[in-house]
Amino acid sequence: MNDTSSDNNPSKVLKWFPGTPEQEKQFRQWMEERDEPLWFEDIEDWLENNAMDLVEGDNGSVVQQISDKIARDFQKKISPTATVKLPGYGYPLDRMPEYHFPVIKSNQINPWCAGPLYLRELCMLKVVEEITNQPEWWVNVHDAQITDNWKKEILGLDWNDYVKYADFTPSMADWCIEELKQKADLYEKTGLIPVLDYDACVIKSDKLVPDTLKQELCVGSQKLQQAISGDKLSHNGITFHLIDPSMCPLIYIHSRILPDRSINRTTCLEACGKGDILDSNWVPHIKFLSNDGNKCPFDDTFQWLPCDVVVDEAGNAKVDSYINNLHPIDHADMYTTIERFITLALPAWDVIYRWPEEFCHQRITNEFVTYDCKVPHLCAGRECSWLNIPTAEFVRRDTEISKEPTPPTRANGMDGHLLNLKLERNESHLEKFLRQSIDEGHEWCHDMIEGRENHVHKWFYDTHPLRLPEPELDEVPVFSKCVPLSSTDARSSAIFSPKNNRLQVIVQLTEIRLSPEKPEYKGDLWKVDGMLNEHIVSTALFCYDSDNITDGHLYFDTPPQDVVTDFVHETPNYDTLRAFGILPGGKDFQVLGRVRIDPGTAIFYPNIYRHHQGSFSLADSSRSGYRKVLKLCLVDPSIPIISTSNIPPQQWAWWKNCKIHNEGLDLVGKLPPELQNMVFSDADFPITNDEAKRLRRLLELDRIPPGVFGWESQFWSDDESENDEGQNDEGENDEGENDEGENDEGENDEGENDESQYDGAQRLGEEIRLCFRMNDVLMTVAS
């Protein structure tokens, strides 16, 4: 996919520097003195300090023009005839157009954050998700007797078991039932169910994929697995990747790019080894920090390669360029199958893409929260505070706290009820931090996590409950308030934009295999998909086959606004924990809930929700089991990136099977062994399988330093046990994979610490200066 707008058109030529000659002179001098790349924010900072008149009142267009011009000049030095202009080649790597899907981390724009949800609304999200997993829910929701029983069961649950300090009111239950009625209509007409929906949404469907298509993918994946020998399969002993975007990705100063043309599935093999080396003015072995001290969200070494997809007027998808690591000739039938899955994903992707602008809503509006003071005689004339506790009460609670019996364990389900809702603990990031602190010997954390708050604070909570808002169905018309998305909003054609019929999709095909020896998959890290290089906006997850596996879930959280305390008014200690489950002023993410992964289920989620795969295990520990997943990541249609239409295939196995290159190999085979060795040592080949595995591991290490997308540390470890950093989920970056004793590269992983492995990733730019000239060398020596 190319952006080939010409610089020869005077109306499109960007002025080199929009300021005075003196300002331009100073700017050029500053550029020459720097030995580091210029990111958007670097240029912006310089202009603000030295040419404020240029950026005052500007929306970033001046900085973008200068940044674009610098990148274009650099491209001309590499490829004088280049017409392709994409981020990292002709455009700056960190280029962000004015209109694009939100991101939760960026160097140059305000990151997206969601409005904080009251704990009450989190409980409502839970009810909707659980009920939509029930058989025939869309029929039962219209039966008044059944919904009355649902309401009684919901109100009878102890919601404090799900989220600490939570409750559930009759008006909340009425809202949920009305919302389910409207979603039932949407489901019957489109097959789509929005869940965890407010400022963004997750969409699930259990009837979108026909059984024949699932069987077709099962057959194709079996053929693909048979074609990949054991030593070539990307895996860690549990997670097996049949199509892996981390194998043979785009690599700066290594990969070749076609500067003035594109290739498709039928012409890609003949282009092997052609093009210019994709040099970069973003030095690959230097990692940059953003202004907030975290690692830059752009990967200046690697980029996953999407395939280009053409969508016709009827909404049918056709893969135009090769899928990275899926041979376009040997596995042509798989292309057809994957095209059908992409077609099925388009309506859900379109809704998710439009949601933040068109369909965002909240069930409970963020109103000011105040205390309902039960002891006005103690707080009269001063602020309500725990300091107002009477001395006698303090002594009594201090004496009685050690005598309090341990509360009985509550059952998660309610036998005999229609729903049997399972209120598994929706553990927050705060609780995870406390559990880690307990492991480090901090006993006070044990008291907090077990619910034994300081007795002074408990007195305050008992005597000062919060006045919390509730959903009100009568405020506005019910339909527009409960579910802003109607069945007519879900489009099956003219997806994203009628003028743009080309999309880019990153494909991954994964199997998780469990056995009596390895009976459990322990989950993975919280993450978003890819780096900003990939500009992934939404992901489709198709579980197309599963056997002997317990229920698995995909968990989601979101970065809330930093101004949570603005909604807790007239409360001197800003009691956001009881209202939102978030500490005041903190940078914690708010856990929204989870979505169940069932065989045949399709889940679509936005890349502004972080996610992680929860643990699951064998249902019958005496025999093996598996889960198979197809993962499709959609690149932002407003930001086309370098794809397989620009980068010729880099796989050695593909290259050596190409007829045009085999002519040189046949000639070399006739040379004496010593001359053959000379040829092979002097030539730079496409990526061999062993090299691809090594680069894959470096790519994973390259993307997991602490603080990339959240506050918690994300270290590489082979010994994680209980903190979800064990193995990777279906189709993730494999951050923190537990290699389970496997070692593809023959290295002693346990003997290497995190620092040495990360240093290896940073030295990548110095190690991999390959240039794909094998055909030229072979033919020259042979002649």
- For residue range 660-670, list pLDDT tens digits in order: 555 555 555 56
Q: Could you give the angle at which helices 61-78 and 40-50 cross, rounded to 10 degrees?
A: 130
> For residues 156 and 183, what is the distance between their CA atoms, to the nearest angstrom?
24
At 247 the three-state DSSP class reads coil
What integer pLDDT is reported at residue 146 of this predicted model? 96
Out of 16-30, 152-166, 185-199, the most confident range is 185-199
pLDDT tier for residue 708 given thresholds of 50, 70 and 90: very low
**Residue with token string 């007829």:** 659
pLDDT value at 238 more than 80: yes
Q: What is the C-alpha separation between 745 and 382, in angstroms, rounded?
A: 68
| Mean pLDDT for the stretch of residues 300-316 | 93
pLDDT value of residue 51: 82
- pLDDT at site 75: 83
Q: What percent of the chain has pLDDT over 90?
A: 40
- What pLDDT is recorded for position 390? 84
Pairing, β 466-467 against β 552-558: unpaired
Angle at 522 between CA 520 and CA 523, to 5 degrees: 135
CA dist list (Å): 472 to 131, 176, 365: 21, 11, 10
Contact of 277 with 27, CB cutoff 8 Å: no
What residue type is 684 in one-letter code?
Answer: D
Indicate whether 659 pLDDT > 60. no
- Structure token pair of residue 549: 């596996």
SS3 assignment for 338-370 = HHHHHHHHHHHHHHHHHHHHHCCCCCCCCCCEE
Lowest mean pLDDT among 47-61, 276-290, 582-596: 276-290
Reading the block at residue 765, the tokens are 């730019």
Name the strand (E) or helix (H) holding 66. Answer: helix 61-78
DSSP 146-181: HHHHHHHHHHHS-GGGTSTT----HHHHHHHHHHHH
Most confident of 335-349, 447-461, 518-532: 335-349
Q: Which residue has the higher pLDDT, 697 or 622?
A: 622
Task: Measure CA of the first residue to CA of the last residue in the chain; give whole Å.
Answer: 38
Q: Looking at the predicted structure, is the pLDDT value of residue 534 above 90?
A: yes
Higher pLDDT, 418 or 481: 481
Main-chain phi, psi angles of 239, to 5 degrees: -95, 120
What's the Rg (C-alpha) of the chain? 29
Tokens read off for 693: 């595995």
Q: Higher-confidence residue: 569 or 338?
A: 338
Q: Cα separation of 118 and 111, whole Å? A: 22
Residue where the block lists tokens 């593909």: 654
Give the tokens for residue 341.
């899955």
How far apart (Å, rounded) are the C-alpha atoms in residues 477 and 480? 6
For residue 550, give both structure tokens.
């317990």
Distance set, CA 607 to CA 52, 449, 498, 666, 667 (Å): 35, 31, 23, 48, 50
Task: Report the share of the chain in percent with pLDDT over 70.
Answer: 68
- 8 Å CB contact between 241 and 234: yes
Residue type at position 353? Y
| Cβ 101 vs Cβ 350: under 8 Å | no
Q: Which of 329, 692, 289, 240 has its CA nearest to residue 509?
A: 240
Specify the pLDDT at position 751.
39
Q: Which residue has the tokens 């076609």?
A: 258
Count H helices and E strands in the chain, helices first: 24, 23
Give the Cα separation of 632 and 627 in Å (integer): 16
Residue 764 pLDDT? 39
Q: Residue 612: beta bridge partners?
A: 555
Is residue 618 within 8 A of residue 519, CB to CB? The reply is: yes
Q: How far apart are the C-alpha atoms of 221 and 331, rounded to whole Å?
A: 10
Highest mean pLDDT among 4-18, 609-623, 752-766: 609-623
Q: Please check whether residue 504 is in contact with residue 693, taking contact to mean a CB–CB distance below 8 angstroms.
A: no
Q: Is 484 exposed, middle or buried (0-12, 13-18, 19+ CB in 10 A)?
A: middle
Question: How do strand 616-617 and strand 276-277 relate by DSSP bridges?
Answer: unpaired
Q: Is residue 290 over pLDDT 70?
A: no
Q: What is the mean pLDDT of the chain?
A: 77
pLDDT the model gives residue 666: 57
Take residue 746 and report the two structure tokens written for it.
């023959």
Among candidate residues 496, 434, 511, 494, the one with its CA nearest the CA of residue 723: 434
Place of tokens 């879900």: 490
Indicate the SS3 state at residue 296: coil
Confidence of residue 540 (pLDDT cuts 50, 70, 90): very high
Amino acid at 599: P
The pLDDT of residue 710: 39
pTM above 0.85, yes or no: no
Q: Which of 334, 341, 342 is nearest to 227 (CA)?
A: 334
- How many C-beta atoms surround the C-beta of residue 622 within 10 A? 8
Q: Could you tell me how far CA 355 lies from the centroid of its own chain?
A: 17
pLDDT band at 428 (very low <50, low <70, confident <90, very high): low
Distance of CA 483 to the CA centre of its chain: 25
Q: Does residue 288 or residue 11 have the better pLDDT?
A: 288
Q: How far apart are CA 86 and CA 95, in angstroms?
A: 9
In terms of phi and psi (left: phi > 0; alpha: psi -120 to 50; beta: otherwise), the region of 207 is: alpha
The pLDDT assigned to 780 comes to 35
Task: Give me the long-range contacts of 411-415 (CB less than 8 A, separation at least 24).
Answer: 412/161, 414/153, 414/156, 414/157
**Mean pLDDT value of segment 514-539:** 93
What lies within 8 Å, CB to CB, of 621 at 6+ separation is 516, 519
For 716, other C-beta atoms within 10 Å of its C-beta total 21
Mean pLDDT of 440-460: 59
Structure tokens at 463: 């005597």
CA 324/CA 221 separation, integer angstroms: 15
CB 524 within 8 A of CB 725: yes
Contact call for residues 457 and 391 (beta carbons, < 8 A): no
The average pLDDT across 201-221 equals 96
Cα–Cα distance for residue pair 431/427, rounded to 1 Å: 6
Among candidates 592, 596, 595, 597, which has minimal Cα distance to 582? Answer: 592
The pLDDT confidence band at residue 502, using thresholds 50, 70 and 90, is very high
Residues 86, 388: Cα–Cα separation, whole Å: 63
DSSP secondary structure letters along 538-560: EEEEEEEEEESB--EEEEEEE-B
Please give the structure tokens belonging to residue 239: 């997670």
Cα separations in angstroms, 576 against 371, 567, 572? 12, 8, 11
Q: Are strands 256-257 and 616-617 parallel, antiparallel or unpaired?
A: unpaired
Q: Which residue has the higher pLDDT, 366 or 19?
A: 19
pLDDT confidence tier of residue 737, bands split at 50, 70 and 90: very low
Q: Is the pLDDT of residue 561 over 90?
A: no
pLDDT at 741: 39
Q: What is the pLDDT of residues 336-382, one digit of tens each?
A: 999 999 999 999 999 999 999 999 998 998 677 788 999 999 888 88
Higher pLDDT, residue 98 or 438: 98
Residues in the chain: 783
Tens-place pLDDT, residues 95-139: 888 788 988 876 556 678 888 899 999 999 999 999 999 999 999
Helix/strand/coil (H/E/C) assignment for every residue in 622-677: CCCEEEEEEEEEEECCCCCCCCCCCCCCCEHHHHHCCHHHHHHHHHHHCCCHHHHH
Phi–psi pair at 486, nearest 5 degrees: -110, 170
